[in-house]
Chains A and B, each alone.
Chain A
Amino acid sequence: MIAMLALPLAALVVLSFWTQNGFELDRTPTLENYAQLVRLTEEPTIWFGIPFYFAYPVPAILMIKSVVMSLSATVAVIALAYPMAYFLAFRVHKHKALWIILITIPFWTSYLLRVFAWKIVLGFNGAINSGLKELGIIDKPLDFLLYNPGAVVITLAHSWVAFAILPIYVSLEKIDRSLLEAASDLGDGKVKRFLRITLPLSAPGTVAAALLVFIPTVGDYVTPTLVGGPGGTMIGNLVQELFLRQNNAPLGAAVAITMMLIIAVIVAIFLWAIGYRRIRARRA
């Protein structure tokens, strides 16, 4: 376990302190790669109206873009998964296992195939365009569906829904039904009962689901490569580009590690903001 997890990570850390010199690796330890990421310049690069005063603005810009895209995907996933999990926990009484299996069936195929499926759905001659054309709503195919950040967010949201349904379902399933009865008996309406009992008690599962989706999607690289086009690139694509095309593995390692640290900080802030400790204390 240690060998499988810690060694590659340690190798990445060590690599990030070296530098690439043409085809050779310069093994003198230096902070140059990290310095390159934060070095400032007088002339800002304008991106979406925001001036970036970095000499090498690409990692910072892509990091922000990836976090925003990933957050949108996470919100979409929770919005989709919560009602499904709720239905499963409260409305389905027979054959629960079968329902769970049915929900996960689309996820038995390869991730790559699901991404390609979205390419077909959103494509120029794809399902949406030909459908709308058939109905006479449009006469020219919509070309803003594919190859942009929106397509990446949709694909990511669909791909990760199953991973969110299960933790939310488990936390909903564990809610003591007598609490709900008590709330109704004491005069809470359906909405109030949901907000005061169900939602808080299912929060740990929902938080877990959000993290489960957010953390891996920030660094995703396959989805933007296939459906993102140049406008949909994320930070994972930069790491790949640095390792392969630009043959600068040390800088790629530095970007990857910085990305990990930033995600860790975001997650920590998130957990602190929703008062994770309070939730845990209440459950205990």
Chain B
Amino acid sequence: MQRIKFIDKMIDGNLSRRQMMQAAGAFGVGTLILPRPSVAAEVLTCLEWGGYDSPDYFQAYVDKYGAQPNFSIFAGEEDALAKVLAGFAADVMHPCNYSVARFVNAGVAAELDTSRLSHWKDVFPALQSAEGVVWEGKTVMAPADWGNSSLAFRPDLLPPEFTENPTWAIFYDEAYKGRVAMSDNEMAIIIGAMVGGMPYDEAYKLEGAALDAAAKEWGTRAVNTSKFLWTDSSEVQQAMASGEIVAAYAWNDLVANLRNEGVPVEFAKPKEGMFTWFCGLTLLNTGKADEQAAYDFIDAWLSPETGKALIEGSGYGHANMKSFEIADKEAIANMGITDPVAMMADTIVFKTPTDAVQEGFNKVWGDTKALKY
């Protein structure tokens, strides 16, 4: 009856603007113009990496609240930061050790009260105090997952000269044009500089003319050699499974997923070095949901059950020491190193650039990509 009355009224033309707007709002038309009616409790909004929106990683939260939080998926931390700065009201963000400072400096990250996290005591002590978890004396990130960025390749499709001595130089090699995929990230310039002989400690903070020169030489080469620059890990996994590309910049999950499908793939330890990152959850001060919900979500991420899912599902490490006690032994053995401290000692840990350096890289990398033809 309501509906017929509404149509009748509309035809007669005696429908107030407010009623009309309300009806439009029901279809989401007026959400921009109408003041939003207050809702009892806002749903938690999380900025997440693609794939981390699976309830396996925060089951405890779902059990408590009966529903999943809202997710907004990003491809890189800089995209997520820009979204928050533009007014996107997110409660929780998933940055990494090298990028969390950007959120702190932008004034959107809040300090974590670790006493409100029941699993905090089980986190590897080295991670509890690592740079990035603690920034300027404040705990701003609850470490959750850690892993590597390295070169994944198809041993069956590459010559033994490469497979016996893998090198990042493959991404800058004209001979592999169209058969490799770099990630859509300024790492293409940094790794290029490392291939050119510069140590990571210098390459990650390139600036000014030196950065322009490195971008011109290595960035351009990487863009021209890559079949595509991947932003979504399923895209690169498919291309690698089909043999369209034979080598890619990748995380542990690519290797774990492809091996599960029976595709031969190796995670190289290139002669220039492999990288280690650790990521975690940061509380943002832009959110609208109840803070307790945010803490419950972060705590769920730190639980050993989440760690088990991470280790078995994607081959990533987890920050909770107990995760390694309950996870499948074979999956742990496949990971190789299970102690983050040993891992960090053995590889290159990503470092935090200053804001000016990061902005310089963002601009130069954007320009380099745009000039490809």
Contacts and interface: CB of A to CB of B under 8 A. Distances in A.
Are both chains from one complex?
A: yes
A238 B370 contact: yes
Interface of A: 3-4, 22-23, 45, 47-48, 56-58, 61-62, 65, 123-125, 141, 143, 147, 149, 229-231, 233, 237-238, 241-249
Interface string B82-117: 110110000000000000000001110000000000
B79 interface: yes
Nearest to A45: B371
A22 B363 CA distance: 13
Given A143-B178, A247-B85, A249-B86, A22 B359 contact: yes
B33 A3 contact: yes
Interface of B: 32-33, 76, 78-79, 81-83, 85-86, 105-107, 178, 223, 226-229, 239, 242-244, 355, 359, 362-363, 366-367, 369-373
A65 B370 CA distance: 10
User: When A and B form their complex, which 10 residue pairs have the shortest distance between CB atoms, in order from nearest?
Assistant: A124-B244, A229-B228, A230-B372, A244-B82, A23-B106, A58-B370, A241-B366, A247-B82, A125-B242, A246-B362
Contacts of B223: 230
Contacts of A241: 366, 370
A22 B366 contact: no
Contacts of A149: 373
Nearest to A65: B373
Contacts of A23: 85, 105-107, 355
B242 A230 contact: no
A143 B244 CA distance: 8
A238 to B, nearest CB: 6
B370 A61 contact: yes
A61 B371 contact: yes
Given A22-B355, A23-B105, A124-B239, A245 B362 contact: yes
Given A47-B371, A247-B362, A124 B242 contact: yes
B372 A231 contact: yes
Given A230-B223, A247-B359, A58 B371 contact: yes
A130 B92 CA distance: 45
Contacts of B226: 230
Nearest to B243: A124
A249 B355 CA distance: 17
13 contacts: A56-B367, A62-B370, A229-B229, A230-B226, A230-B369, A241-B370, A244-B78, A244-B82, A245-B82, A246-B363, A247-B82, A248-B363, A249-B86
Given A23-B85, A147-B228, A247-B78, A48 B106 contact: no
A247 B85 CA distance: 9
Contact of A233 (B85, B355, B370): B370
Contacts of A123: 244
Contacts of A56: 367
A242 B107 CA distance: 21
A233 B369 contact: yes
Given A4-B32, A147-B227, A229-B227, 6 more contacts: A23-B106, A61-B370, A230-B223, A233-B369, A242-B366, A245-B78
Contact of B244 (A58, A62, A125): A125
A230 B228 contact: yes
Given A22-B355, A244-B83, A58 B367 contact: yes
Nearest to B102: A23
Q: Which of B32, B78, B367 has the most CB of A within 10 A?
A: B367
